[in-house]
Amino acid sequence: MRIAKIFFLIAVFFTSLCVFSQENGFVPFVSSIKTSVKGSQIKILWKDASNLSGEKYRVYRSTERIGDSSFSSAILAGVVGEDVEFFIDNPPESGAYYYAVLVVDEYGTEYQIFIPFRNTSISPIEINVEQAQEEITPADVLSFSAKAEEKSVRLSFKASRSDRNLVIYRSTKPFTSPSSIESATKVTEIASSETSYTDYPVPGIDYYYAIADELSTEITFLAGKNTILEPVKIALERTIISLPETPGSNLREAPLPNFTPSVGRSAKEDMPRRQAISDKTEKSVKNIISSLPVFRPVLPSPELLPEERDTSLAGTAASLRSVVSNMTKTNDWEPIELQLYNLLATTSDKDIEMRVYFYLGQALFFEGKREQALLSFLMAREAYYLRTKKWITAILNPEALSQPLSQ
């Protein structure tokens, strides 16, 4: 049996190398045909024939292996142009199907040659159209509610199907239209067979929740069905912590560095006197300045710590992850700042505090509160020295991160 299989493969190989016709010489054909199924569709992949231009490819479907004797019963499923190298078929009914891809040259000649493994599939691919259509039908959410508890929010829901995945969203704004999801935080995905979920949001913030099937696109939000009308909030247990305010201007300025008046003389006599420079010197200075490259500031981009990649986080750590998950694509930093301050007020975990200070520094930085941002980064530097270094540099010495403009 094994020897017969080897001879069959050798025959196929030499057939694919030596395919000619008496009239036209070499006969073009595709290679590496592959099939796969997803839902109610079958995808056919192949490699185009070489040394051709302007050709097309006809994809045939049949319930039996396609060859010279069975080609007449094959059905044309579709036609694609060159360089496409795939076709997605939608069989009208369930069954097991074979496929073949034939070349049609620029003159309309179809080359009816069938080579297993190359341009014809040798194994059928099965599809259950009815089941596939049932699987892609989104589940309806029949009821939904949210209740704030001591340190969490308890969500209760019921779906019309038990074999789908649902997505839970959280936002500081009500869910009123499909676009509301764009500004919301994706809390989790959960099986529709479940009926409850416990969330750990940041305390002290009003939150709205919504739930929908993962395949839902145009969602109509209805209070009590798939969203809530009134926000829920976890009460703060401790006083909100805030960073020191920027030092006022009434503080005494530092004296001149390295300035020691001579004994027996007044400080005024030791002060350098302003002297005029010659026109020639002034012109030389201007020429030097004009020849220097012009720099533009390069601000750091918002960044997340590796710890936030852990999707199994719970409690305060999960709350922090949900707060900062959209940092890399937001321009609204004030709500993030408030939520991070509230997290500082409710956690005693040293590691989480360091992470909160790191993110708080970024929020304050992009709000233009550079002095307070500096204090936050200094607090986080103990745990994240290298990561905070560039942010501290951007505050104290932004020229070090500048790049010259192209001339």
Q: Residue 203 maps to which CATH number?
A: 2.60.40.10
pLDDT, residue 184, reads: 83
Last residue of a domain, one of 179, 213, 247: 213
Last residue in a domain, options 188, 213, 238: 213
Check whether residue 108 and residue 203 sit in a common domain: no
* Other beta carbons within 10 Å of 57: 23
Q: Are 94 and 127 in contact (CB under 8 A)?
A: yes
Give the number of domains in the chain: 3
Could you give the 3-state DSSP secondary structure of residue 367?
coil
Q: What percent of the chain has pLDDT over 70?
A: 80
Residue 202 maps to a domain: yes
Does residue 28 sit in the same domain as residue 100?
yes
One domain, residues 324 and 393: yes
**Local confidence band at 138 (pLDDT 50, 70, 90 cut-offs):** confident
pLDDT given for residue 297 in this prediction: 67
Q: What is the rounded (10 degree) CA torsion for 363, 366, 369, 370?
A: 100
Please tell me whether the overall predicted TM-score, pTM, comes out greater than 0.85 for this model.
Answer: no
pLDDT at 21: 44
Kindly state whether residues 335 and 395 are assigned to the same domain: yes
154 and 188 share one domain: yes
Of the residues 133, 164, 195, which one is the last residue of a structural domain?
133
* Residue 189: inside a domain: yes
Question: Does one domain contain both 56 and 93?
Answer: yes
Across all residues in the chain, what is the average pLDDT?
Answer: 81
DSSP 301: P
* Weakest-pLDDT range from 196-210, 242-256, 305-319: 242-256
Confidence of residue 255 (pLDDT cuts 50, 70, 90): low
83 and 117 part of one domain = yes
For the stretch 7-40, pLDDT in tens is: 444 444 444 444 444 344 568 999 999 999 877 7
Domain span holding position 169: 137-213
My answer on whether 27 and 121 are in the same domain is yes
Dist. CA 185–CA 169, nearest whole Å: 6
Q: What is the pLDDT of residue 357?
A: 94
pLDDT at position 212: 92
pLDDT value at residue 7:
46
β-pair partners for 87: 44
Say how far residue 192 (Cα) sits from the centre of its chain.
Answer: 24
Share of the chain above pLDDT 90, in %: 39
Structural tokens at position 36: 């796969």
Contact 207, 226 (CB under 8 A): no
Specify the higher pLDDT residue, 96 or 249: 96
Phi, psi of 263 (to 5 degrees): -65, 135
Q: Are residues 27 and 123 in the same domain?
A: yes
How far apart CA 96 and CA 127 sit, in angstroms, is 6
Alpha carbons 101 and 33: distance in angstroms, whole number? 8
Least confident segment among 9-13, 207-211, 365-369: 9-13
- What is the pLDDT confidence band of residue 230, given thresholds at 50, 70 and 90? very high
Give residue 281's identity as a one-letter amino acid code: T
**Cβ–Cβ under 8 Å, residues 176 and 132:** no
Do the beta carbons of residue 202 and residue 161 sit within 8 Å? no
Side chain identity, residue 310 = D
**Could you tell me the two tokens for 241?**
């912590």
Q: Which band of pLDDT confidence, cut at 50, 70 and 90, is reported for residue 251?
A: very low
Among the listed residues 41, 46, 107, the one whose alpha carbon sits nearest the alpha carbon of residue 77: 41
